[in-house]
A and B are shown apart, each in its own frame.
Chain A
């Protein structure tokens, strides 16, 4: 069945209006994007909407109380709550480097949970 959907791109604040045409479950045509990231977003948003998820976890012995963390790449939207439950259990000890992998391949996906910040040990 032919199907068309209109999306507002969320990759950047330009917010291009995207048109995605589908035949059954296959994306056949995308228009309205002005960069490659936008085209990719339109494609993924139809087939598997994903987001970069960010939160904070507690950190011991660092110069700050909370460590900001994120998913290394977009993570399936409908599993965000599972992601949050898993990440909440995380206990991190300083020092930690930005980009350091804290949970590899969370929930059997290819995305990691990484630190968003370098935190030195508190002297």
Chain B
């Protein structure tokens, strides 16, 4: 089994920052696992601008922001395993992973950092009745299809939920020549940042229907429309307010959930309400030497904040490793009895 000082799982903004920070703090043998072909995580599909305002004092797009860190990682001796899926981690800090080039690998590390990000809540999770026709996407997967794969999502779309990804996709769809019939939000106020409501919806005259929700989908092979209704303060549809919006795409942007399957398998604690990993002030989980950062801990509204947290996890992991090394180097002295009280 190959040994490293630090293994980082996830090559998005959190993992990149954590690995670089640990390297700068004197950790020499670092391995980073990423399941996609490219490093950068979700930043690669976030082609809009607004990243880096806090950290770099300039307005960057997601890929540009990612590249600043990826470039530093490339210039360092951090071992990057892209296109690699981590299958399992364990409390004693071994990692089992697989990819096409190396096959199965098992590595041991003095410390682990989990930077596994988050997933989107799906249409099934919120229980919209109707068949399962083509044309229903989570906003992030639609973003991936458009921005990375180059597919058109639909001619006329409805977006359910006013989270930031949904708002940003409303603008993307409009710019690419699709019509966005409406953004439908069950709450009385938009859930995304106000700056996104202004520059994604208001700029393009896209209607935002607050206190409304999608009550069913229509269409068997391809989505043909959605039925919407106004909701009351308990989020229940109000009878008599139903209407039909014809559309061939529905984008669901109803929240993000930390992705912690690996941690859960290893018996690491998460918060019951948010599913985020439970960490102390140094970003250590309840498993000694296993740290966590980014959206795997809690959902962040800005990538800059994820980077800051990743750096903290990287520093903490570094001091944990150096501390342990210090202790093992001291051990021979203990053994020769000089420190033993007579």
Residues of A within 8 A of B (CB): 8-13, 15, 51-56, 58, 63-66, 68, 70, 77, 80, 84, 98-99, 116-118
Q: Are A70 and B49 in contact (CB under 8 A)?
A: yes
- The number of residue pairs between A and B whose CB atoms lie closer than 8 Å in the complex comes to 75
Indicate whether B146 reaches chain A with its CB closer than 8 angstroms.
yes
Indicate whether B48 reaches chain A with its CB closer than 8 angstroms.
yes
Q: Are B148 and A116 in contact (CB under 8 A)?
A: no
Q: Are B175 and A118 in contact (CB under 8 A)?
A: no
Size category of the B interface is 20 to 34
Residues of B within 8 A of A (CB): 37-38, 44, 47-49, 53-54, 59, 61-64, 67, 146-150, 172, 175-176, 193-195, 198-199, 203, 301-302
Query: Could you tell me the distance between the alpha carbons of A80 and B198 in the complex, rounded to whole angstroms?
Result: 15
Report A-chain residues with C-beta under 8 Å of the C-beta of B302.
13
Report A-chain residues with C-beta under 8 Å of the C-beta of B199.
10, 51
Report A-chain residues with C-beta under 8 Å of the C-beta of B148.
64-66
Interface of A is mostly: loop
Q: Are A54 and B61 in contact (CB under 8 A)?
A: yes
Query: Could you tell me the distance between the alpha carbons of A66 and B148 in the complex, rounded to whole angstroms?
Result: 6
Q: Are A66 and B147 in contact (CB under 8 A)?
A: yes
Q: Are B49 and A52 in contact (CB under 8 A)?
A: yes
Q: Are B194 and A8 in contact (CB under 8 A)?
A: yes
Report B-chain residues with C-beta under 8 Å of the C-beta of A66.
147-150
Q: Are B194 and A15 in contact (CB under 8 A)?
A: yes
Q: Are B203 and A9 in contact (CB under 8 A)?
A: no
Q: List 27 A-B contacts (CB under 8 A).
A: A10-B194, A10-B195, A10-B198, A12-B53, A13-B301, A13-B302, A15-B194, A52-B49, A54-B48, A55-B47, A55-B172, A56-B146, A58-B150, A63-B38, A64-B38, A66-B147, A66-B148, A68-B47, A70-B47, A84-B175, A84-B176, A98-B63, A98-B64, A116-B62, A116-B64, A117-B63, A117-B64
